[in-house]
Amino acid sequence: MGEPMSVLEAIRTRRSIARMKPDPIPREVLEQCLEAAVWVPNHRLTEPWQFFVLEGEAKRRFAEIRRNFRRTQLPNPDAPEAQAALEKVYQDTVQTPVIIVVTSRITEDPELREEDFWSTFGAAYAFMLAAWSYGIGTYFRTGGLRDYPPLREFLNLQEDRRIIGILYVGYPAEIPQKRRTPASEKTVWLGG
């Protein structure tokens, strides 16, 4: 598994990885990252998350669902160029080594509901950092696919669960550059 990089280095250097190598990811590394994810801060310790790790046949089924969803968004889905784009969605998805659907519970209490979603995203981010510290890239995506009924049916999701995002996981083929505004321009120090 090798030595993970420091937390600070992982935070600073992690990027969303769109282009991944097809190399498989060892199960024990994924388990380590999931075990790290659940140590996110969590008000009232509700532990609202559940992760669906898709590999093999499940990933192929997910790829079909993702392609079908994309189809619903195209103005002219039967045009030849649309076919190529839809095939690319399918291929990109099946070639991603691991896909993790991150879900959170939905409570009646609006305050708790919001906090549960924050925590679950925090868990996803902790997973992303842990993975990156082992040299594994991730891409967290949201969008309308989260609420697409066939995806919910495939996962057999109960009414009280929401998909908060989908994590695409694999070794980076390319690490893009991104920019950030320095925190000093976003920070107000008071009283010092």
In this chain, which stretch among 25-33, 41-49, 62-70, 137-145 interacts with ligand FMN, using CB under 6 A? 137-145
- Our finding on whether 118 is near ligand FMN (CB under 6 A) is no
Member of 16, 50, 68, 107 binding ligand FMN (CB under 6 A): 16
R_g of the chain computed on alpha carbons? 18
The least CB distance from residue 115 to ligand FMN, in Å, is 16
Six-digit token string for 100? 């993790």
Member of 1, 78, 84, 178 binding ligand FMN (CB under 6 A): 178
Distance CA 119, CA 164 (A): 11
- Count CB neighbours of 189 within 10 A: 6
Nearer residue to ligand FMN within complex by CB, 74 or 79: 74
Distance CA 64, CA 61 (A): 5
Residues of the shown chain interacting with ligand FMN in the complex, contacts defined by CB under 6 A: 15-16, 140-143, 165, 178
